[in-house]
Amino acid sequence: MLEVQGEPDRLDAFRSGEPWAGSVGDTLKVCRSKVGMPQNRVWYPGEKEVIPMGKSTYRSVEIQKVTAAQILAAVLTPLVIFALDVAKKRVLAAIADDTGKHALIVHFALPTELGRLIALAEQLVAAGRRVQIAMEPTGSYSSPILEAAHGASLETFLISPKRAHDAAEVYDGVPSKHDPKDATILARLHAQGISTRWAPMSQERRELRALMDERELYAAPLEEHFGRVEARLAHWWPALLQSTDVRQRISVLRWLTTYADPATVRAQPQQATDALRALSRGTMAPKVIEAIVASAGQPSATPMNAAERKMLTRLFEEVVRLHDKCAEVDARIEEVTRAKASWEPMRRMLGATTLAALVALVGDPSQYASASALEKACGLNLKESSSGERQGRGVHITKRGPAVVRRYLYMLALRMVGRQELVRAWYQRRRSFLAEDKLSAVVAVMRKLVRALWHVARGAPFDATKLFDVRRLGVVTALPATRPEEVSAMA
């Protein structure tokens, strides 16, 4: 029985169903029974409503204790939804009807009990039901489930984790998140059509993804070592950094594996000059070689000892090794991308490595319905965060797509700005560039290039004059439609 405690006039208002007209600070003490909240509860200003949840709302059972007959009795609609919250070892599955209302929640171990889930689904299909499996794209953890479901000819769908996160409080009024609740939310979202059909990755895309993963094994530490190289040279050989860009000249790095100490170059200037000329294979101008060798004659901040000389030599050797490994992978990427004729326009625009990163991580650009969809997949679409007097200062890119794709597109934008006059003119007219916010101006170029890529993927040649207004920029001569020798350099 429900017991109400309080002053007489408040109690009369509660029993009559009329709201209490007292001050905001007045309260009504209600001692609730365990079965839930009273139906004629009086709400006061500032008081929040909490949707009641029974203790068994999110209770799960072991999958071996559930039979197909029990599911058929609990779910009466023709469609049965298996909404999975996938973790490393344990999976929660909300079994729901076509409205997304779950009848029960089961849990099973991954991968040992995955076969039980597939067997239940197959039994439901044999009984005339349609089974759909929905889950979040949790990377490698969800891969065994996706492949097993595909092998059993079951329909599988993916739901954006952002959608599930945003729906947490909408679902039951509580912002908490836990595995059983996530599974039930996924069932509701899938029933509302907020999911996309999953399909196995094509062999060519799998090959490119493997090649890009292999490249990152070498490219990531290579970038770190380049930072160390610049720091060490700034300490022991600062004049060399003023003479050349060691990042752009692998021949100089190969030369440094022998001549890491400027004192060695000073002692053997002619041998050092001949060695650098041989390693450059005639691609380095004599004046540049002379300047590099002469930089060793300028006094350094600190002379090297034997241990420092050995450490620096090993650093240069490791940088050269990682560079050669990246070049080897790039050659294989070039071969794979050239083999598909339909990719040739994109390869000429982007370069083989950037094209491989795009196809491997976001898919073939020609498969997107619009340029805006491709831009969104790359995480380059805009979001606004403004309120009150803070207007126009909260516009940023979403960064939802893979960061690796944006990194390669960023390098592409820098190459375009540096080598194409029309792109550079537009870049320098940006308000952000004039305000010394050059990063935002580069991002604007990235967004332009991604939108152009969608058209190039459909066979149109890349033409910068269609992206930018030549008349307003004051560029007299239009650029050729494609300049692969300028744009396809390695990222």
- For residue range 223-267, list pLDDT tens digits in order: 999 999 999 999 999 999 998 999 889 999 999 999 999 999 999
Residue 134 β-bridge partners: 83, 157
Cβ atoms 457, 364 nearer than 8 A: yes
Look at residue 168 in the predicted model and tell me its pLDDT. 85
> How far, in Å, CA of 52 to CA of 50, rounded?
6
Cβ atoms 481, 462 nearer than 8 A: yes
Instruction: Report whether CATH 3.30.420.140 matches the domain 60-197.
Output: yes
Helices (H), 340-437: 344-350, 352-362, 371-377, 403-419, 421-429, 431-434
Look at residue 476 in the predicted model and tell me its pLDDT. 53
Using the structure block, give the residue that is written with the tokens 């005339």: 128
Look at residue 411 in the predicted model and tell me its pLDDT. 94
- Among 135-139, 169-173, 332-336, name the one with the lowest average pLDDT: 169-173
Cβ atoms 398, 382 nearer than 8 A: yes
Look at residue 384 in the predicted model and tell me its pLDDT. 81
Alpha carbon dihedral 291, 293, 297, 301, in 10-degree steps, equals 90
- Among 40-49, 61-70, 450-459, name the one with the lowest average pLDDT: 40-49
Look at residue 9 in the predicted model and tell me its pLDDT. 52
Kindly report the average pLDDT of the chain as a whole number. Answer: 84
Q: Where are the beta strands (DSSP E) in 357-482?
A: 382-384, 395-397
- The matching CATH number, chosen from 1.10.287, 1.10.3470, 3.30.420, 1.10.10, for 206-334 is 1.10.287
Look at residue 320 in the predicted model and tell me its pLDDT. 97
Of 16 and 346, the structure prediction assigns the larger pLDDT to 346
Asked if residue 47 has pLDDT above 70, the reply is no
Of 60 and 6, the structure prediction assigns the larger pLDDT to 60
Using the structure block, give the residue that is written with the tokens 């604007």: 444
Q: Which amino acid is at 110?
A: L
CA distances from 142 to 63, 148, 238, 283, 427 (A): 18, 10, 51, 50, 42
Look at residue 38 in the predicted model and tell me its pLDDT. 47
Tokens representing residue 32 in the block: 């609730």
Q: In the Cβ-directed half-sphere of 135, how many Cα atoms lie within 13 Å?
A: 24
Residue 102 β-bridge partners: 96
Q: What is the residue extent of each domain of the chain?
A: 1-49, 60-197, 206-334, 342-487
- For residue range 432-447, list pLDDT tens digits in order: 787 878 898 999 999 9
Look at residue 16 in the predicted model and tell me its pLDDT. 47
> How far, in Å, CA of 237 to CA of 221, rounded?
23
Q: In the Cβ-directed half-sphere of 236, how many Cα atoms lie within 13 Å?
A: 20
Of 103 and 22, the structure prediction assigns the larger pLDDT to 103
Cβ atoms 157, 198 nearer than 8 A: yes
Residue 157 β-bridge partners: 134, 197
Look at residue 434 in the predicted model and tell me its pLDDT. 79
Asked if residue 12 has pLDDT above 80, the reply is no
Look at residue 300 in the predicted model and tell me its pLDDT. 66
Q: How many CB atoms lie within 10 A of CB 8?
A: 7
Q: Per-residue pLDDT averaged across 469-482, rounded? A: 61
> How far, in Å, CA of 366 to CA of 459, rounded?
9
Asked if residue 452 has pLDDT above 80, the reply is yes
Of 55 and 437, the structure prediction assigns the larger pLDDT to 437
- For residue range 286-337, list pLDDT tens digits in order: 999 999 999 998 876 678 899 999 999 999 999 999 999 999 999 999 999 9
13 pLDDT band, cuts 50/70/90, is very low
- For residue range 369-421, list pLDDT tens digits in order: 999 999 999 999 998 877 776 665 678 899 988 999 999 999 999 999 998 88
